[in-house]
Amino acid sequence: MSVIVTDQGFSESDWAAELPEADMLALPSDTDPHGVDVASLPALVRVEFPSFADGRGFTIARVLRDHGYTGKLRASGHVIADQYAMARRCGFDDVEISEELAARQPEEQWKFRADWTAHSYRDRLRTA
């Protein structure tokens, strides 16, 4: 079982459960996002994170959004709470983590980073 993390915290409702399997696609972290035909992508794209140290998924999300993908993007796998704001800024709608990770990093840690639009480095530069 997995836990879905949103800006409101841990979510029990998972819109992916309501989608047919044909409307979902898992992209491995080594996918070249520039080679993906955004128009052919289904309603939900899960970008896999094999390790919290593997940041290629953030690039995949940003490129897909820059190329016009408007469907749901989910970061799936080894994403940690400290990376939540970056995941949202890159274009992910939510994060899917294991129950084990949710136990080690409780909901409060994720919600602390849920105000992902504030305190970006660009905002800090503007006020300097």
The pLDDT, as a whole number, for residue 21 is 74
Encoded amino acid at 3, one letter? V
Confidence (pTM): 0.85
Least confident of 35-44, 80-89, 118-127: 118-127
Q: Domain span at residue 22?
A: 2-127
Rg (CA), the chain: 15
Domains held by the chain: number: 1
Question: Alpha-carbon distance 87 to 4, whole Å?
Answer: 13
pLDDT, tens digit, 9 for 90 and up, residues 31-50: 999 999 999 999 999 999 99
Write out the H or E segment, with its range, that includes residue 101: helix 99-104
Instruction: Output the DSSP codes for 104-120.
Output: HS-HHHHHHT--TTSS-
Least confident of 13-22, 40-49, 100-109: 13-22
What CATH number does the domain containing 54 carry?
A: 3.40.50
Q: Does 3 score more than 90 pLDDT?
A: yes
Closest by CA to 49, choosing from 98, 111, 105, is 98
